[in-house]
Structure 1
Amino acid sequence: MRSPVTENRQYLLVFGATMALRERAVVAALRVFDGPLVTIARSVDARAAKFFDHVLTGDFSDPDTALRLVLDFEKETGMRPAGVVPFIDPGLVPGRLIADHYGLPFLSRQAIEDSGINKNRMKDRLLAAGVATPRYVQADDLDAAYAAVAEVGLPCVVKPSAFGGSLGVRLVRTQEEIAEAHASVRRTIDATATFTVKNRGIQVEEFCPLVDEVSVEVLTHRGVTTVLAVTDKSHGPQPYFAEVGHRVPSTYADRSDVRDLAVRACEAIGLDRGVAHVEIRLEEGREPQLMEVGARTAGDGIIDLVERALGISPYELHVLSYLDRLQDIPRPQPAGLAAIAVLKAPPGTVAAVRPVARVDAAVTSYEVYAAPGTVSRAEQANYLDREGYVECYWPGAEPASVPKDAHLDIAARLAAEIFVMEGAEGEAAAP
Structure 2
Amino acid sequence: MPRRAFILVEIKPKGLGPLYVQAARRVGLHPIVLSADPAQYDNLAAESAEVIRVDTDDLDALIGECSRLRAAYDIAGITAAGDAFYATVGKLCRYFNLPGPNPESVERCCDKFTQRKLLAKAGIPIPAYRLAADATEVKDSAAEIGLPVIVKPAVGTGCRGVRLCRSFDELAEHTNYLLGGHHIWRSAPRILVEEFAQGPHHWADIMGDQIIGIGTVDSGPLPHFVGRECTLPALLTDDKHQRIAGVSLSCLRALGLGWGPTGIEFRWTKGGPVVIEVNPRLHGIPVPQLTQLAYGIDLVTEHIKLVIGEECDLHRRHSQAAAARFLVPDRDGTLDWIGDSWAAALPGVAEVEFYVKPKTQIVRKGHCGDTIGHVIAASPTAARTEAILQRAIDLIDWSVT
Q: Same fold (TM over 0.5)?
A: yes
* Ranges in structure 1 where 5+ consecutive residues have no aligned partner: 1-6, 423-431
Please give the residue correspondences for 1:191-270 in structure 2 after superposition, counting only pairs within 5 Å. 191=184, 197-198=186-187, 200-210=189-199, 212-220=200-208, 225-252=209-236, 254=238, 255-270=241-256
Cα deviation digits, residues 378-398 of structure 1 (max 9, x gap): x6610111222222222x22x
1:146 pairs with 2:127: no
Partner SS, residue 369 of structure 2: coil
Alignment correspondent of 1:56: 52
Structure 1 residues 209 and 182, CA, compared in 2 at 3 Å: closer, same or farther?
same
Alignment correspondent of 2:320: 336
* Ranges in structure 2 where 5+ consecutive residues have no aligned partner: none
Cα deviation digits, residues 61-115 of structure 1 (max 9, x gap): 55455334434544xx533522112321112122123212212222112211221
Match of 1:164 among 157, 161, 164: 157
| Contact 1:61-1:90 at 8 Å conserved across structures | no
Q: Which amino acid aligns with 1:271?
A: L
CA displacement at 1:325 relative to structure 2: 1.8
Alignment correspondent of 1:274: 260
Alignment correspondent of 2:272: 287
Supply the distance in 2 between the matched residues of 1:351 and 1:240 (Cα, whole angstroms). 22
Please give the residue correspondences for 1:29-428 in structure 2 after superposition, counting only pairs within 5 Å. 29-32=24-27, 34-41=28-35, 42-46=37-41, 48-50=43-45, 51-60=47-56, 63-74=59-70, 78-79=72-73, 81-115=75-109, 117-187=110-180, 190-191=183-184, 197-198=186-187, 200-210=189-199, 212-220=200-208, 225-252=209-236, 254=238, 255-282=241-268, 286-326=271-311, 329-350=313-334, 352-359=336-343, 360-377=346-363, 381-394=366-379, 396-397=380-381, 399=382, 402-403=385-386, 407=389, 409=390, 412-415=393-396, 417=397, 419-422=398-401
Structure 1 residues 64 and 167, CA, compared in 2 at 3 Å: closer, same or farther?
farther
| Contact 2:90-2:101 at 8 Å conserved across structures | yes
Supply the distance in 2 between the matched residues of 1:200 and 1:79 (Cα, whole angstroms). 41
Structure 1 residues 265 and 180, CA, compared in 2 at 3 Å: closer, same or farther?
same
Considering fraction of residues, name the structure with more helix.
2
Structure 1 residues 372 and 199, CA, compared in 2 at 3 Å: closer, same or farther?
same
| Contact 2:150-2:196 at 8 Å conserved across structures | yes
| Contact 1:229-1:253 at 8 Å conserved across structures | no
CA displacement at 1:233 relative to structure 2: 0.7
Partner SS, residue 273 of structure 1: coil
Structure 1 residues 105 and 189, CA, compared in 2 at 3 Å: closer, same or farther?
farther
TM score, norm. by length of structure 2: 0.89
Supply the distance in 2 between the matched residues of 1:170 and 1:47 (Cα, whole angstroms). 33
Structure 1 residues 135 and 411, CA, compared in 2 at 3 Å: closer, same or farther?
farther
Supply the distance in 2 between the matched residues of 1:85 and 1:66 (Cα, whole angstroms). 12
- Cα RMSD for the two superposed structures: 2.6
CA displacement at 1:338 relative to structure 2: 1.6
Structure 1 residues 48 and 273, CA, compared in 2 at 3 Å: closer, same or farther?
farther
Supply the distance in 1 between the matched residues of 2:214 and 2:9 (Cα, whole angstroms). 24
CA displacement at 1:44 relative to structure 2: 4.0
CA displacement at 1:166 relative to structure 2: 0.5
Q: Which amino acid aligns with 2:399?
A: V
- The number of residues matched between the two structures is 394
Structure 1 residues 60 and 412, CA, compared in 2 at 3 Å: closer, same or farther?
farther
